[in-house]
């Protein structure tokens, strides 16, 4: 289990809290969504580049075809391609978003519990 996954589990179990209001977490969650969408656009572009001619005279020069294929493999389809990098970043951003959602939920639950306890023992 990664450190981030452990933090998510701790937050879900109520063992991790931060002194921020839920509005701040809403902003963080929205920022994650925006970032993930931008990464998906980049991933789409990388895949798209991997299948289209790149202008190296691929149709009539063998060396142009080889050069284009090198760049196309860097764009998508291999473990170290741009596509793979974008997918990895998307996965990390989604994990961070899950952490923020879990912490926000924990804050809401704690606030509700505290308010309920205060109401029972208060004025």
What does the pLDDT look like over 22-48, one tens digit per residue? 899 999 999 999 999 999 999 999 999
Report pLDDT digits (tens) over 63-98.
888 888 888 999 999 999 999 999 999 999 999 999
- For residue 72, which of 83, 63, 61 has the smallest C-alpha distance? 83
Q: Domain residues for 72?
A: 42-112
Residue 6 forms part of a structural domain: no
In a domain, 97, yes or no: yes
Asked whether residue 7 is assigned to any structural domain, the reply reads no
Total domains, the chain? 1
Residue 121 has pLDDT above 70, yes or no: no
Has residue 118 been placed in a domain?
Answer: no
Entry pTM: 0.72
Indicate whether 10 belongs to any domain.
no
C-alpha triplet 32, 75, 40: angle, nearest 5°: 20
Has residue 78 been placed in a domain? yes
């Amino acid at each position: 289990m990664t450190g981030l996954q452990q933090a998510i589990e701790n937050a879900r179990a109520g063992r991790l809290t931060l002194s921020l209001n839920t509005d701040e977490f809403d902003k963080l969650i929205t920022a994650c969504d925006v970032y993930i969408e931008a990464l998906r656009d980049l991933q789409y572009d990388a895949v798209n580049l991997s299948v289209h001619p790149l202008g190296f005279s691929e149709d009539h020069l063998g060396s142009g075809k080889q050069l284009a294929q090198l760049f196309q493999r860097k764009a998508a389809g291999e473990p170290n391609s741009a596509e793979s990098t974008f997918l990895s970043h998307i996965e990390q951003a989604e994990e961070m978003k899950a952490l923020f959602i879990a912490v926000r939920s924990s804050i809401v639950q704690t606030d509700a519990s505290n308010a309920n306890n205060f109401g029972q023992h208060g004025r």
